DNA sequence: TTGAAAGCGTTACCAA
DNA sequence: TTGGTAACGCTTTCAA
C-alpha cells in the first residue's frame, strides 16, 4: 500500500542500505547512484517513515517546547524563535526538526506529564521556557525527569529559569532581579514614590526575582513601601486589570504601577482607563518584557527589554549542538536590559 | 540500558503482549495481572517507546497544527484550543496526544514542507488554520498532499479556510464575508461615510472575503468609495501602523478605519495616536477577531467576533472522531457574529 | 562504494 | 484471559 524504502531500492536497483544512506546524506554514495535513488524517490513519491527511522536510529527529530501559555504572545515568540532555530544537522530541506509545543498552563502536573510524553517520543531536545515553580517536591521531580531525559540522549535547555543541579542541561537564565531594580529605579528617578506592583503568580522564580529587584531599588532609594502595594496573580490581562483596580482602591495616591509582564500591563492600562485616569499623566505604567504589540500600541509603557526571543534562539542553537555549551552548562544573560518608553513624572 | 517492554514483562511474570495490552487499555486483562504489570512499570520507571509503538501500530499520537504565525495571539489561541481538545481515545492520563505546531509564516513552500514532515511522522491528524493562499498551483499541491495524508489514515481538518474538493477533510469555514458586511454596516449606522480599510495580504481567502463584505455593505448603503481607501499588508502591527498613516495621508477626512484583524487594529491605533488623533473621537477603529487583549485594552475597538477558539476546539474533536463529521465534510460557522465595542459617531 | 542481515521495541494476529 | 511470534520499516555494523 504505502511506498517503503525497499520499493525505492528495487526501482533504483540498489540495496535498501544505499537508499537510506542517500536519504540521510551522512555517508559517501556515488553521484550516479544518488541520482538514481533520488529519481526513484521522486517517481514513487516516497516519504520516509519517521517512527521506523526513529526506532532504528534511537532518536527522533522532534523537539519539545514547554510553555506556560501559548496564547500569550510572549511564549508565542519564544516558540517561534525556537522553531526557527531547530534545523537538524546538515540543514537540508525536509531534514528539519519539528517543534512539539506543550501548553502546561503553569500546572506542575502537566509539566511532568509532558516531559514524560516527550521522553516517550525520544525527543531530540526539550526546551523549558518561563519561570520555574518553586516547590521543593516538584523541583526534585522535574530534575529527576530531566536527568532521565539527558541519559536517553535528549538535550535539555532551560530558557528563562534557573539551572538545575546535577544536570547537563543548558540554562539560559534572565536577570529578572536586575530588571526589577532597573525598572523601579527608572520610576524613582522620575519622581514617583507611591508605586504599585502587580506581581506574577506566587511560587515562581520570575515572580520572586523581579519583586526582589523592585524592593531592592526602593530600599536603595530610602523609599518605604508596604505589602499593600503588591498584588499577585497569573500572567494575564484580567489579572492586570483586577489587581490594578484593587491597588487603586487600597491607595488612591498611587502615581505609578509596575506590571509583572506586558500582558498584565495591558490589563493595568484598561483598569486605569476605566477608572477615568490618564496614562501616563495620572498614573504611569511600567512593564517587563518587550512584546511587539506593546511597544507602540501602548506608548505609555516603559519596557524593560529582556532579550528573550534572541535568547531562545540561542538556546535552540545550543540545544542542537551547533554551539558549544558554556562551561558548567550555565549561561546567564544579563546587563542587556534596556529601559525606555514614555512614562512621565508624577503630577505636581 | 533503557527499560523495555520485555523487562517489564519479565518482572511482572507475564508476556510482552500482556504488558502491551495493559498499557493500551484496549483489551481485557485480569485485574490482578494488570496490578502486577502496573507495579512493575512503576518500579522500573518504564516509559513506552513512542516510535516503536507508532511503527507497529502504523499511527502516532502526534497532531500537526499549521499556523501562519505562532507569535500572533490569534494563532496562539487556535493552537491552545486544538491542544486542549486532542486527548486520545480513552482519555487516560499519559495517553494524550502531542501537538506539533508548525509555523508557516504564510509561506506556501513551508506549508507543503510541513505537510510532508507530518506525513513522515504518520500524524494522527493535521489541522490547517487561517486563510488559504489563493494560488491555483499551490492549492492543487496542498490538495494532493492532503489526499495522500488522508489515504495514510491521517484525519485532516481545515479551520478558517474553505473546503478542499475531493477530500474527506473536515472544513470549518468562517463567514468572513458576513463578518465584513456586519462590521462595515455597524460603522455606517454610526454615520461614518469615509472609511479606510486595512486589508490582509493579497491572494488570501480571508483577505478577499472580508474585503468583499466591506464593499458589499458600502454598496448596499449607496456609499461610494475608491481603491485609495484600501491598503493591503501582512497581518501584523507594523502593517496596521504604516497602512493607517498612509490612509490618513491619502484622505484626511477619514472618520473610521476597518482593520483586517486585531493585531492590525492595534497598529492602527498606534498610528492614530502618533498623528495626534483621538480614538474614537476623531477616528473610530473597527477590527475583526476577538482576541482577549484587545477587548478591553483598546476599548475603542469594535469587535466582530468569529468564534474561532471554539471552532478550533470543535474541529479538534471532529478530527479525533469523537464527533461525526458533518455530511459532506463541510461545516460553515455563521450567524454567530457579534458586533460590539465603543466606536463612536463621527464628529459633527 | 555497495550489499547482506541483524536488530530496534511494539503491536496484533493466531493459538492455547 | 494469556502467550508465542511474525511483522512494522528503517539504520547500521560487518563483509565484500
pLDDT at residue B118, as a whole number: 95
Q: B68 to chain A, minimum CA–CA distance in Å? A: 11
CB A259 within 8 A of CB A183: no
The helix/strand/coil state of A168 is coil
CA atoms within 13 A on the CB side of A321: 10
Taking the C-alpha atoms of residue B315 and residue B323, their distance in angstroms, rounded to an integer, is 9
Tens digits of residue pLDDT in A312-331: 555 554 444 334 334 334 44
- Answer with the residue of higher pLDDT: A343 or B201: B201
Give the model's confidence band at B318: pLDDT under 50 very low, under 70 low, under 90 confident, else very high.
very low
H or E element, residue B187? helix B176-189
Among A218, A225, A344, smallest CA distance to A284 is for A344
Q: List chain D nucleotides near protein: any atom < 7 Å from a Cβ.
A: 1-5, 7-13
Q: Where are the beta strands (DSSP E) in chain A?
A: 62-67, 98-103, 125-129, 155-159, 170-174, 195-199, 230-232, 256-259, 284-288, 301-304, 330-333, 339-340
Whether the predicted pLDDT of A212 surpasses 90? yes
Grid cell locating B118: 507530518
Cross-strand partners of B65: B101, B127
Nearest nucleotide to the CA of A55, by C1', is C8
pLDDT at residue A167, as a whole number: 80
Q: How far is CA A199 from the centre of its chain?
A: 19
For A5 and C14, how far is CA from C1' in angstroms?
A: 29
Nearest nucleotide to the CA of B6, by C1', is C9
CB B114 within 8 A of CB B105: no
Phi, psi of B109 (to 5 degrees): -60, -45
Name chain B contacts of A79, Cβ cutoff 8 Å.
70-71, 101, 103
CB A131 within 8 A of CB A200: yes
Tens digits of residue pLDDT in B193-241: 999 999 999 999 889 988 999 999 999 999 998 899 999 999 888 898 8
pLDDT at residue A311, as a whole number: 54
pLDDT at residue A164, as a whole number: 85
CB A242 within 8 A of CB A209: no
Least confident of A16-25, B234-243, B271-280: B271-280
Among B297, B80, B308, B82, smallest CA distance to B176 is for B308
B184 inside 8 A of chain A by CB: no
For B51 and D15, how far is CA from C1' in angstroms?
A: 30
CB of B348 nearer than 7 A to strand D: no
Class of residue B125 by CB neighbours under 10 A (exposed 0-12, middle 13-18, buried 19+): buried
Cross-strand partners of B257: B196, B285
A52 inside 8 A of chain B by CB: yes
Q: List chain C nucleotides near protein: any atom < 7 Å from a Cβ.
A: 1-5, 7-13
Name chain B contacts of A47, Cβ cutoff 8 Å.
116, 119-120
CB B117 within 8 A of CB A96: yes
Q: Using the beta-carbon criterion (under 8 Å), do B103 and A84 form an inter-chain contact?
A: yes
Name chain A contacts of B77, Cβ cutoff 8 Å.
71
Whether the predicted pLDDT of A335 surpasses 70? no
Give the model's confidence band at A5: pLDDT under 50 very low, under 70 low, under 90 confident, else very high.
very high
Whether the predicted pLDDT of B337 surpasses 50? no
Nearest nucleotide to the CA of A36, by C1', is C2
Q: Using the beta-carbon criterion (under 8 Å), do B48 and A120 form an inter-chain contact?
A: yes
Name chain A contacts of B265, Cβ cutoff 8 Å.
none
Number of other residues whose CB lies within 10 A of the CB of residue A251: 15
Least confident of A111-120, A174-183, A195-204: A174-183
Highest mean pLDDT (candidates A101-110, A270-279, A286-295) = A101-110
Taking the C-alpha atoms of residue B229 and residue B184, their distance in angstroms, rounded to an integer, is 14
Give the one of A55, A101, A298 whose C-beta lies nearest to B79's C-beta: A101
Tens digits of residue pLDDT in A155-169: 888 887 888 888 878
B153 inside 8 A of chain A by CB: no
For A56 and D11, how far is CA from C1' in angstroms?
A: 5
Tens digits of residue pLDDT in B122-149: 999 898 988 899 999 999 999 999 999 9
Q: For the residues of B224-239, what is the DSSP string, one character each?
A: ---GGGEEE--SSHHH
DSSP state of A95: -
- Entry pTM: 0.86
Tens digits of residue pLDDT in A93-122: 345 789 999 999 989 999 999 999 999 999
User: Mean pLDDT for chain A?
Assistant: 80
Protein residue nearest nucleotide D13, by CA to C1': A17
Phi, psi of B170 (to 5 degrees): -80, 130
Residue in chain B closest to A265 (alpha carbons) equals B297
DSSP state of A155: E
Give the model's confidence band at B341: pLDDT under 50 very low, under 70 low, under 90 confident, else very high.
very low
Whether the predicted pLDDT of B57 surpasses 80? yes
- Chain B residues 298-317 with CB within 8 Å of chain A: 298-299
Taking the C-alpha atoms of residue A281 and residue A258, their distance in angstroms, rounded to an integer, is 15
Whether the predicted pLDDT of A262 surpasses 80? no
Least confident of A122-126, A138-142, B182-186: B182-186
- Chain B residues 193-252 with CB within 8 Å of chain A: 236-237, 241
Q: A95 to chain B, minimum CA–CA distance in Å? A: 9
Q: B235 to chain A, minimum CA–CA distance in Å? A: 12
Residues 6+ apart with CB under 8 A from B169: B146, B150, B156, B157, B158, B163, B329
Taking the C-alpha atoms of residue A139 and residue A126, their distance in angstroms, rounded to an integer, is 16
B267 inside 8 A of chain A by CB: yes
Residue in chain A closest to B70 (alpha carbons) equals A76
pLDDT at residue A165, as a whole number: 82
Taking the C-alpha atoms of residue A68 and residue A236, their distance in angstroms, rounded to an integer, is 11
Whether the predicted pLDDT of B248 surpasses 70? yes
Taking the C-alpha atoms of residue A214 and residue A208, their distance in angstroms, rounded to an integer, is 10
Amino acid at each position: 500500500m504505502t511506498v517503503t524504502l525497499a520499493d525505492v531500492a528495487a526501482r533504483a536497483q540498489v540495496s535498501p542500505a544505499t537508499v537510506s544512506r542517500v536519504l540521510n546524506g551522512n555517508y559517501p554514495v556515488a553521484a550516479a547512484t544518488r541520482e538514481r535513488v533520488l529519481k526513484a524517490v521522486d517517481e514513487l513519491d516516497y516519504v520516509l517513515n519517521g517512527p521506523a527511522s526513529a526506532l532504528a536510529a534511537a532518536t527522533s527529530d522532534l523537539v519539545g517546547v514547554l510553555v506556560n501559555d501559548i496564547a500569550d504572545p510572549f511564549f508565542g515568540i519564544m516558540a517561534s524563535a525556537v522553531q526557527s532555530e531547530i534545523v537538524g544537522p546538515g540543514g537540508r530541506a525536509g531534514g528539519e526538526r519539528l517543534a512539539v509545543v506543550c501548553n502546561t498552563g503553569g500546572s506542575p502536573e502537566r509539566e511532568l506529564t509532558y516531559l514524560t510524553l516527550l521522553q516517550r517520543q525520544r525527543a531530540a531536545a526539550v526546551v523549558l521556557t518561563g519561570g520555574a515553580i518553586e516547590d521543593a517536591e516538584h523541583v526534585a521531580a522535574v530534575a529527576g525527569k530531566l536527568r532521565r531525559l539527558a541519559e536517553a540522549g535528549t538535550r535539555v535547555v532551560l530558557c528563562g529559569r534557573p539551572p538545575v543541579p546535577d544536570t547537563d542541561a543548558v540554562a539560559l537564565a534572565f536577570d529578572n532581579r536586575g530588571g526589577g531594580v532597573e525598572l523601579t529605579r527608572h520610576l524613582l528617578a522620575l519622581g514617583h514614590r507611591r508605586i504599585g506592583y502587580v506581581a506574577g503568580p506566587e511560587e515562581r522564580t520570575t515572580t520572586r526575582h523581579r519583586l526582589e529587584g523592585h524592593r531592592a531599588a526602593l530600599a536603595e532609594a530610602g523609599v518605604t513601601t508596604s505589602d499593600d502595594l503588591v498584588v499577585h496573580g497569573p500572567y494575564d490581562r484580567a489579572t492586570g486589570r483586577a489587581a490594578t483596580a484593587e491597588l487603586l482602591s487600597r491607595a488612591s495616591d498611587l502615581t505609578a504601577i509596575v506590571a509583572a509582564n506586558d500582558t498584565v500591563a495591558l490589563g493595568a492600562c484598561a483598569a486605569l482607563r476605566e477608572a477615568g485616569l490618564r496614562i501616563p499623566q495620572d498614573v504611569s505604567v511600567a512593564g517587563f518584557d518587550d512584546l511587539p504589540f506593546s511597544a507602540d500600541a501602548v506608548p505609555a509603557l516603559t519596557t524593560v527589554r529582556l532579550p528573550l526571543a534572541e535568547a531562545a534562539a540561542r538556546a535552540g542553537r545550543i540545544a542542537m549542538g551547533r554551539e558549544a555549551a558554556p562551561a558548567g552548562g550555565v549561561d546567564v544573560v544579563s546587563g542587556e536590559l534596556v529601559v525606555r518608553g514614555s512614562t512621565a513624572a508624577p503630577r505636581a
